[in-house]
Amino acid sequence: MINNDILRRISTTFDHSEEEILAVFELGQCSMTAEKLTHFFTEKDAADYKELLDVELASFLNGLIIDKRGPKDGPQHQAEQVLTNNLIFNKIKIALALKADEVIAVLELADLSLGKYELSAFFRNVNHKHYRECSDEVLSTFLKGLKVKFQN
């Protein structure tokens, strides 16, 4: 999925204002300006469109975890330079403190049925024999389910 779309969909789901989005970036140790943010929210075909980098989205998601759950003891988690759908999915799950049953329920809100074992494969270590890559479709469906859950 495109990072800009993920940012846009998460921000819409939680009805974040521009100031709240900037604050979440700040919590994730990423300095972001309102002007830069505007470029991320413009349509892909627009001349002033800028692509949100993986490290910037990782910072936003780390900030979302801090925003929703509070800061952890010790040093802050550094933003990943490269993101996968599995990492994005996991960070959102952590931020919302969702257990497997709750994630499955969110997916079902968007008409996707997964079992616990299928779901756990997304959160395993990449070297684990049962690891499975999270497709754009599954991540998109999860974001759609979150919107249904939090907009009602």
CA distance 82 to 113: 28
pLDDT in tens, 27-45: 999 999 999 999 999 998 9
pLDDT in tens, 91-127: 999 999 999 999 999 999 999 999 999 999 999 999 9
The confidence band for 54, taking pLDDT boundaries of 50, 70 and 90, is: very high
Confidence (pTM) = 0.93
22, HSE (Cβ side, Cα atoms, 13 Å): 11
CA distance 34 to 83: 23
